[in-house]
Chains A and B, each alone.
Chain A
Amino acid sequence: MMEIRIHGRGGQGAVTSSKIAGLAASIEGLYGQALPFYGFERRGAPVEVYLRFDDKPILISSQIYEPDGIIVLDPILAELGNVVSKGLKPKGFAVLNTLKKPEEFDYARKLSKIGVLDATGVALKTIKQPISNTAILGAFARTVGIIKLSSLEEAIKQILPERLHNANIESLRMAYNETKVLEM
């Protein structure tokens, strides 16, 4: 089982990104689980979503405290190492929305992989709004590779309204191409 913690702010689409990733995993014959940790009126406030993938049905229902990896949708949160790297497994991975280089993140030194991307920039170019969720999924596909780009595209088509398909698929693909991955 792979356990991932997604960090974002309300409005950046963290919950939607977890649904897209979960459906993409399901399309590939895996089992997915997305457990949002939220209350109400969260726009702008930090949110977390717990994402699990496995090749058998996922039964555990508690939150994730020691993730195999993190996905961070917000560049300021990405710099808060004590928040986002809490409990992160030493050989884990990080996928970050940031303008910085992978080497600049102290907490990433113990990890096996770090993928960085200006996901907000990609989102502004493609969907014309700072909603970094589909871009960060492209970075995730590039960095970790557990889920194929084509499955993510299919999931976007099933989950988002039709008028948003093209821009979001463009965002996903551009992100995939522009992500820089550092392997330790």
Chain B
Amino acid sequence: MKMVEEIIDFITGNDAVAYAVKMARVKVVAAYPITPQSPVTEKIAEYINNGEMDTEFIAIEGEHSCLAAMRGAGVCGVRVFTATCGPGLMYAHENLECVHRDRTPLVIAVPNRSYSSLFADYTDSMPEATTGFIQVFVESPQEALDTTLQAFRVAEDHRVLMPFMILYDGYVTSHTGATVRLPSQEDVDKFLPPFKPYAVKVDPSRSEFIQWEAPGVPIQEMEHEQAMENAREVIKLANEEYAKIFGRRYGDGLLETYRVEDAEAVLVTMASMTGTARQVIDMLREKGEKIGLIRLRTFRPFPIKEFQALQEKYSFKAMGVCERDVTHGCRYGEVYGDIKTSLYDLDNRPKMINFILGLGGADIRIPTLVTASEKVLYTAKTGKIEKESWFGAEIGEVETRLAAF
């Protein structure tokens, strides 16, 4: 294997995404500013202004129109990208729902943020879980760059043709400077060929009305479910192909495991909290506790079979699911519900506990994750569940963000 030439730089998650968009030779970008997303599109505008990107940039009046513009550009058969988050993503909801009906492989970067504060939680993207977007939660600025490149390849694959959302924690990843390896244009071109549209539906020189005529909605939805089923394999393939060229691999693309061998208890984490959780697993392993970690990378399509396979292989006795969202009225988060559903049919399914952490950007700290792990270990050892779901504030989480104001 020929070593790739990469530049080592120190940049934020937002800048890492913008760099990947430049390398992907995106043709149309429309965007509206919102914190903490704005630096992504500011950087892209800078690239275009400097002549480093040959891209049409549409400074648009809002996210609802932005998604409409992206759909319009998408059906003309070019590579398209936008970024938004928080209330912006919520405002875009109507047109988000439409994108998969066009089978436009639009890629959206979302530095997750709460509706009620500027900081990270999944209040913005979780309501979009049913809009037909592939949703991948990334852990670090480097993974944000790598996943943006993979996103175009997955979404544009003719077996998939579904839109793709890259999710990373607002501020924690979007504004954190990190040592990042920047791939060269030559190497990126090897991984990501130019976009070949399956069909170009409109002539961009004319004003046209697009209507989904055939097949009708019931058949269309069934086909799109098949496309998502295909996406599972295509995500895995893209992850492997990427690793072959650049040497970086994120689990199997869907899930990533850490010290799960002989584990009786396991934590499930997402995005940036995972790194902190790895340290907690190391600390508890040193004390002889049999605990491991599964990181949920791909949330849509949900890795149902992969969770089942891990459970059948390792027979975890207890599983603690940590997530930055809650469905009020259920007292659990979306991920918890999905994992529980996936494992329900197994004879050796684990006891499950949900930890709703880091809402409104509250810092997810080592002590909080230690307490969560202890509860999962208690259940693994005794078979008893003290309480099925815990909010961070109930296990010692402090909203340290507020101290800044």
Contact = CB atoms under 8 A, between A and B. Distances in A.
Contacts of A65: 365
Main secondary structure of the interface of A (DSSP, over half): mixed
Interface string A10-42: 000000001100110111001111111111100
B366 A34 contact: no
A26 B10 CA distance: 7
B10 A61 contact: no
B209 interface: no
A62 B364 contact: yes
Give the size range of B's interface with the partner: 20 to 34
A59 B405 contact: no
Contacts of A25: 10, 179
B380 to A, nearest CB: 24
Nearest to B142: A57
Contact of B178 (A22, A39, A63): A22
Nearest to A49: B177
Contacts of B146: none
A148 to B, nearest CB: 15
B273 A23 contact: no
A31 B172 contact: no
Contacts of B363: 62-63
Nearest to A61: B272
Interface string B389-405: 00000000000100011
**Most chain B CB within a 10 A radius of its CB, from A30, A35, A60, A62:** A62
B177 A61 contact: no
B275 A22 contact: no
B156 interface: no
Interface string B245-284: 0000000000000000000000000001111101100000
Interface in A99-150: none
Contacts of B400: 63
Nearest to A31: B179
Contacts of B177: 18-19, 22, 32-35
Given A35-B176, A39-B118, A63-B400, A58 B275 contact: yes
Given A19-B10, A23-B9, A26-B8, A34 B176 contact: yes
Contacts of B173: 61
Interface string B126-145: 00000000000001101000
A1 to B, nearest CB: 10
A38 B178 contact: no
B175 interface: yes
Interface in B305-361: none
B35 A59 contact: no
A59 B404 CA distance: 24
Contact of B176 (A26, A30, A33, A39): A33
Contacts of B404: 37-39
Interface of A: 18-19, 22-23, 25-27, 30-40, 57-63, 65, 155
Given A57-B142, A61-B275, 13 more contacts: A25-B10, A31-B179, A33-B178, A33-B179, A34-B178, A39-B118, A39-B404, A58-B275, A59-B276, A61-B139, A61-B272, A62-B366, A63-B363
